[in-house]
Amino acid sequence: MDRISWDQYFMAQSHLLALRSTCTRLTVGATIVRDKRIIAGGYNGSITGGTHCIDEGCYVIDNHCVRTIHAEINAILQCAKFGVPTEDAEIYITHFPCLQCCKSIIQSGIKAVYYAEDYKNHPYAIELFKKAGVEVEKVALKEMIIDNRQKEKQQFVEKLLCALGDGGVDKERVVDLQEQANNLFNKHV
């Protein structure tokens, strides 16, 4: 049996953390690692005790949700809160970090950034990482341990079923297919 690689293991952890995100615009997870050990994790969400995007919608200013703290910052703050040094650590993130997170990563002493998906990769962030000597590498999640697109797939199947119903497919057949989809997605109506 082949074991999952370290990169895939830590990236899977970041995708798992992203499932805790409360922002409806983008779910992001981040895992900070030192010496092949997880030292912190974070996801994008509101301040402790604050209103969440999933409850009242995103609070968008200049095309950014200002209600949330980004996953990378939450992970770095977790280290600060518990006195865990980030010097020479690595961070695994589901998406390329924004410019502000890039600067925080550099300032925290993290030496390598591994991200799974491109997301508005800012040229200045790339330049700053290079100047600071921070290694940056795209590491897509290859192991399908976690289905990070389940909600999207479920919505797609529901649209297909509606189209089938609107297209004249036998109503009983559509109901049967809907029941199968509900079972597949573990959704009980």
Instruction: Tell me, yes or no, if 143 is annotated catalytic.
Output: no
Q: Distance from CA of residue 93 to its chain's centroid?
A: 7
Beta bridge partners of 117: 95
Read out DSSP for 120-160?
S--HHHHHHHHHHT-EEEE----STTS-TTHHHHHHHHHHH
CA 189/CA 64 separation, integer angstroms = 34
| HSE, side-chain direction, 13 A CA sphere, residue 165 | 13
User: Per the residue annotation, which of 72, 87, 137, 158 is the catalytic one?
Assistant: 72
Q: Which residue type does 110 have?
A: I
Q: What are phi and psi of 45, to 5 degrees?
A: -170, 175
Q: Which residue has the tokens 């974070």?
A: 42
Which residues participate in catalysis according to the annotation? 72
